Amino acid sequence: MITYLPVDLQLKDDYPFTCPCGHQQYARPSIAMRFDLNMGHGTCKKCNMFLHLEIVLPDNDAMKAEPHDAWSARLEASYR
Ligand SMILES: [Zn+2]
């Protein structure tokens, strides 16, 4: 599912996230996030997994990461 960010949310410069492999790293907000869509993507610097990233609300101090394939399959299923 695609979730939205509050329009008055103050995005931070970067957010910590932990890859499913356990490696913690940082990501900057995506272009979509700047337009209030809570979605971004990136690649783990350790294991190279392609990840879907979302800002954790309401705390706004971290992102959660999951394999991009798992997220896109769930998204596709939600439109069936
Ligand atoms: Zn990883």
- pTM to 2 decimal places: 0.92
What does the pLDDT read at residue 31? Answer: 97
What does the pLDDT read at residue 25? Answer: 98
What does the pLDDT read at residue 35? Answer: 95
Distance 80 CA to ligand 1 centre (A): 30
Distance 19 CA to ligand 1 centre (A): 5
Domain boundary assignment for the chain:
15-78
**Which residues face 67 on adjacent strands?**
51
What does the pLDDT read at residue 28? Answer: 97
- The contacts of residue 28 (CB under 8 Å, 6+ apart) are 13, 14, 15
pLDDT tens sequence across 14-42: 999 999 999 999 999 999 999 999 999 99
Distance 52 CA to ligand 1 centre (A): 12
pLDDT tens sequence across 34-69: 999 999 999 999 999 999 999 999 999 999 999 999
